Amino acid sequence: MGFVDDELSKMKDVIANLESRVKRLEGRQSGAVTPEEIRMILIGPPGAGKGTQAPKIKERFSCCHLATGDMLRNQVAKKTPLGREAKKIMDAGGLVRDDIMIGMIKEELNSNKECQGGFILDGFPRTVPQAEGLDEMLASRNQKLQHAVELQIDDSLLVARITGRLVHPASGRSYHSTFNPPKEYMKDDITGEPLIQRSDDNAEALKKRLGTYHAQTAPVVDYYRKTGIWHGVDASQEPGQVWKNVLSILEGKERSHGSTILSRITGKN
Cross-strand pairs, 120: 40, 65
Q: How many CB atoms lie within 10 A of CB 57?
A: 23
Q: Which one, 63 or 76, has the nearer CB to ligand AP5?
A: 76
Q: Are 158 and 47 in contact (CB under 8 A)?
A: yes
Position with the least CB separation from ligand AP5: 69
Query: According to the binding rule CB under 6 A, does residue 51 interact with ligand AP5?
Result: yes
Find out whether the peptide bond into 125 is cis, omega within 30 degrees of 0: yes
The stretch among 111-119, 142-150, 168-176, 224-232 that binds ligand AP5 (CB under 6 A) is 168-176
The stretch among 3-11, 85-93, 220-228, 246-254 that binds ligand AP5 (CB under 6 A) is 85-93
For residue 264, indicate whether it is catalytic. Answer: no
Q: What are phi and psi of 196, to 5 degrees?
A: -130, 170
Query: According to the binding rule CB under 6 A, does residue 87 interact with ligand AP5?
Result: no
The stretch among 10-18, 90-98, 137-145, 247-255 that binds ligand AP5 (CB under 6 A) is 90-98
Among 60, 61, 69, 134, binds ligand AP5 (CB under 6 A): 69
Closest CA to 124 of 141, 107, 143: 107
Q: Strands 118-122 and 174-176, how do they pair?
A: unpaired
Residue 28 labeled ligand binder: no
Query: According to the binding rule CB under 6 A, does residue 62 interact with ligand AP5?
Result: no
Torsion of CA 205, 177, 237, 38, to 10 degrees: 80
The amino acid present at 100, given as its one-letter code, is I
The full DSSP string for 35-76 is PPPEEEEEE--TTSSHHHHHHHHHHHHT-EEEEHHHHHHHHH
Q: Are 47 and 102 in contact (CB under 8 A)?
A: no
Binding mask 109-148 for ligand AP5 (x = CB under 6 A): --------------xx-x---x------------------
Name the site residues for ligand AP5 (rule: CB under 6 A).
44, 46-52, 68-69, 72, 89-90, 93-96, 101, 123-124, 126, 130, 161, 165, 174-176, 179-180, 209, 238-239, 242
User: Binding site for ATP: which residues?
Assistant: 47-52, 165, 174-175, 237
